[in-house]
Amino acid sequence: MSRVYNFSAGPAVLPEEVLREAAEEMMDYKGSGMSVMEMSHRSKVYDTIIKEAEQDIRDLMHIPDHYKVLFLQGGASQQFAMIPMNLMKNKKAGYIITGQWAKKAYQEAQIYGEAVKLASSEDQTFSYIPDCSDLDLPDDLDYVYICENNTIYGTKYKELPNTKGHLLVADVSSCFLSEPVDVSKYGVIFGGVQKNVGPAGVVIAIIREDLISDDVLPGTPTMLKYKTHADADSLYNTPPCYGIYICGKVFKWLKNMGGLEEIKKRNEEKAKILYDFLDQSKMFQGTVAPKDRSLMNVPFVTGDKDLDAKFVAEASKAGFVNLKGHRSVGGMRASIYNAMPKEGVEKLVAFMKEFEEANEPFGDLNG
Ligand SMILES: *Cc1c(COP(=O)(O)O)cnc(C)c1O
């Protein structure tokens, strides 16, 4: 068996300990005589799995009691519709456009009401986070929506927008559990887990209880009402059982290492290694305004498409895979989520140094 360093933006690397434990439990989960994949979601043994998972994420994020934790399906993209269906009482919401995922959510909301573009960084290919300290906010907004970490462009809000009393809704798919958060600042936090928490197929939504009601837009399907899932503790229908079980293991992995304070420290160390290298390199440059840099997704370019392609190909051969940038941006992107070991980043940087030296004659292509 040989494992690569997987820099995929998602689905992405998971902790080896978690994968090993899951493998050990594959045929017989704790004496049940079956895999978690094979058991009833109504069984006692599964009930313990999902309850523990919920308690562990509550502990990790210090989620207040008046917030519900829902394990849902449909990807983060389904939340782009569920948010307005459940929250757009005045049929008006504000969106801050910091990348493609925010834009998709904004476009989806337009199906259900008026989506107001409050700010955007599209003028500079989403390479920065707009100043959101004093936005012009209509009084009747139902909520202000952000994508907190922009997976494709590598930007992250270092400060939340000043919503002037309006509800804040955040897509945290690609920074989920990467650092401590103050849940009480949000109305809804949601994320697809396949970036930083578990296998694709699970979306976690953390919702302030008073926002969960039967007062939803007409025509909202039962399955897309938060209340349906909240009333049934995420067991209204068959949930993504196996995925939730793996998420639960990742929560325990994080708790055992010291929680979100500790993972933040590690994530900062890892990101610094890569950003410090990019800042002094003559060949590779980061593409993001330094103050807005993500700890999770690090895009960079050489300025020469052929050289980018050569780098991606040679890196892949050397065991550093999925470094190609998103098709809309080009260049490279290293996603260095929680489960990417520091050693993986150190080795990547060593490889980049070697590549730079070996390709020095081409350095002037950078202009
Ligand atoms: C990946 C991603 C999505 C889309 O997730 P799906 O689960 O594929 O729908 C949405 N938002 C962000 C920030 C993402 O990184």
Look at residue 308 in the predicted model and tell me its pLDDT: 97
pLDDT tens-digit readout, 285-325: 999 999 999 999 999 999 999 999 999 999 999 999 999 99
Our answer on whether the CB atom of 36 is closer than 6 Å to any ligand 1 atom is: no
For atom 14 of ligand 1, the residue with the nearest CA is 173
In the chain, which residues have pLDDT < 70?
361-367
Q: Determine the distance separating the centroid of ligand 1 and the alpha carbon of 81, expressed in angstroms.
A: 13
Which one from 68, 195, 270, 324 is the annotated catalytic residue?
195
Q: Which two tokens stand for residue 297?
A: 């997704």
Sign of torsion, CA 287 289 290 293?
negative
Q: Determine the distance separating the centroid of ligand 1 and the alpha carbon of 355, expressed in angstroms.
A: 32
Which one from 56, 92, 101, 270 is the annotated catalytic residue?
101
195 annotated active-site: yes
Q: Which two tokens stand for residue 56?
A: 């562990």
Look at residue 362 in the predicted model and tell me its pLDDT: 52
Q: What pTM was computed for the model? A: 0.97
Q: Determine the distance separating the centroid of ligand 1 and the alpha carbon of 80, expressed in angstroms.
A: 10
Our answer on whether the CB atom of 294 is closer than 6 Å to any ligand 1 atom is: no
Q: Shortest CA distance to 102 belongs to which of 169, 36, 2, 42?
A: 169
Our answer on whether the CB atom of 147 is closer than 6 Å to any ligand 1 atom is: yes
What lies within 8 Å, CB to CB, of 92 at 6+ separation is 113, 114, 116, 138, 140, 141, 142
Q: How far apart are CA 9 and CA 137, in angstroms?
A: 33
Q: Determine the distance separating the centroid of ligand 1 and the alpha carbon of 213, expressed in angstroms.
A: 26
pLDDT tens-digit readout, 125-153: 999 999 999 999 999 999 999 999 999 99
Our answer on whether the CB atom of 225 is closer than 6 Å to any ligand 1 atom is: no
Q: What is the CA radius of gyration of the chain?
A: 21
Our answer on whether the CB atom of 192 is closer than 6 Å to any ligand 1 atom is: yes
State the burial class of residue 302 (Cβ atoms within 10 Å of its Cβ: 0-12, 13-18, 19+). Answer: buried
β-pair partners for 285: 301
Our answer on whether the CB atom of 10 is closer than 6 Å to any ligand 1 atom is: yes
Would you state the torsion angle of the CA atoms of residues 344, 347, 353, 357, taken in this order, to the nearest 10 degrees? -130
Instruction: Annotate 57-75 with b (16+ C-beta within 10 A) or e (fewer).
Output: bbebbebeeebbbbbbebb
Instruction: Annotate 164-178 with b (16+ C-beta within 10 A) or e (fewer).
Output: eebbbbbbbbbbbbb
Q: Shortest CA distance to 274 belongs to which of 336, 182, 190, 204?
A: 336
Look at residue 367 in the predicted model and tell me its pLDDT: 45
